[in-house]
Chains A and B, each alone.
Chain A
Amino acid sequence: MISKDLVIIGGGPAGLCAARMAAEAGQSAILIDRNAKLGGQLIKQTHMFFGSEKQYAKTRGIDIAKKLLDDVGSYPELIEVWEDATVVGLYPDKVITVLKQEKYLKIQAKAIIVATGASEKVLAFENNDLPGIYGAGAVQTLMNVYGVKPGNKIIMVGSGNIGLIVSYQLMQAGVEVVSLVEASPNIGGYKVHAAKLRRYGVEINTSCTIKKAIGKEAVEKVVTIKLDENWNEIPGTEKTYEVDAICIAVGLTPLTSLLSMIGCEMKYISELGGLVPVTNKYHETSIDNIYVCGDSSGIEEASSAIVEGYLTGLIASSKLGKKHPKFAELVDDFQSQLENLRNGPFGAKIRQGLKKLGGSVDA
């Protein structure tokens, strides 16, 4: 059994930032990620981020990942990185089991930060298992990480920022986006992204969903249908498109299985994407010294995950006895950054979700 005071699970923006703050405070940690490369979803984001300079606005996601990796890399004596390592179990006595290149290892921790991110929601429609049907994450991995076109003619399902941005990236890669459908009456993501697609001639159909996929060996066609105000299909409004790929971008749900299995109190909050752990304002779950940050504590933007990661890293280290020299000042700064990020109309849903979760606005 390996002993380590602090273990951080997940090397996306939240986990990387937690590791950096821990290191700044003088706290050593093991940072574990199941992928071969740290950076989480950032490594497939080729677009520039919005927001303020503090969370790397106007920088491409992939460059933010590099920056965060460099930050962590500058503390090699404190932060031990395990790549290609999957945490398979978390136990109430804070023992973590890890599968690392076929090796089954155990770590005894004192504090654990869970930053496992999210998984994609899927849809139930006819023939939804045909080859050629992808989640938006897979499409981004294929295109932006491996340089592989997922298809030639594609339909996008979902108009959140991911659906809008990935549609544009598909067009940049030379894929024809025949239509973008959105079940709700309104476009979910930023207007500026939607407007760009419209300018390039992509039709955006609101109150419309996918009825079925058609194909023998792979997707050949897709049938869409209009929805009424009660989300019921309107017969006679079916439309068929010839496509060889379907991209599903209907939202994310927090990846919280590790927190569930260790017995953290969980609550279903639809505004935060599904089942989330109940936390106090220090990102600590109902179990002492088990923390959560980033999308696994509720779906938000990468910018929020970055700030939450910093904050959680500071707090976890302080409780372990390593207090950052600028602790109070930084905590205040990160709290107010989070507040700013959640301000405005696009933060309304998150504010409402956090309120349902327990009244704390900085959870």
Chain B
Amino acid sequence: MNKKAVIICRCEDVTLQDIHDLLEQGYTSFEEIKRILRVGMGPCQGNTCGQLVQREISKYLKIKLEDVKTQKVRPLTTGVKLNSIKEGAKNES
């Protein structure tokens, strides 16, 4: 299989090869992998790649999928223009 042609995270263009390289280096949690490759940090916030990365971690560590720690989810769920937030704050007071 050409792992470079398997896209795991479409938003940030991360391939299966990228994920496997990091797993080999000992980065075996979503949070670590996210910080290096930005998986799950694009417009869809991990809705697509989340389960694929979890699966790769579970296969690599030979643990059950439900035992793989999931990523921390933070606001916002999608991109918001700074101007929208600024305008919103104006109406606050």
Residues of A within 8 A of B (CB): 1, 86-91, 97, 99, 102-106, 119, 121-122, 124-129, 212, 253, 255, 257-258, 260-261, 266-270, 274-275
Contacts and interface: CB of A to CB of B under 8 A. Distances in A.
Interface of B: 1-2, 5-8, 10, 16, 45-48, 51-52, 55, 65-66, 68, 70, 72-78, 80-81, 84-85, 87-88, 92
Contact of B6 (A104, A125, A269): A125
Smallest CB-CB A-B distances: 7 pairs: A89-B75, A104-B88, A260-B73, A268-B66, A88-B76, A104-B84, A129-B7
B80 A128 contact: no
A270 B81 CA distance: 36
Given A88-B78, A124-B52, A268 B87 contact: no
Contacts of B48: 119, 122
Nearest to A135: B48
Chain B at the A interface: SS class: loop
A40 B55 CA distance: 28
B78 to A, nearest CB: 6
Contacts of B72: 260
Contact of A87 (B47, B77, B88): B77
Contacts of A129: 7, 10
A274 B76 CA distance: 21
Contacts of A255: 47
A36 to B, nearest CB: 16
Chain A at the B interface: SS class: strand
Contact of B66 (A1, A88, A127, A269): A269
Given A1-B92, A126-B2, A268-B70, A257 B84 contact: no
B75 A104 contact: no
25 contacts: A1-B92, A88-B76, A88-B77, A99-B80, A99-B84, A103-B84, A103-B88, A104-B80, A104-B85, A104-B88, A106-B88, A124-B52, A126-B1, A129-B7, A212-B1, A212-B5, A255-B47, A257-B77, A258-B77, A260-B73, A261-B74, A268-B66, A268-B70, A269-B66, A270-B66
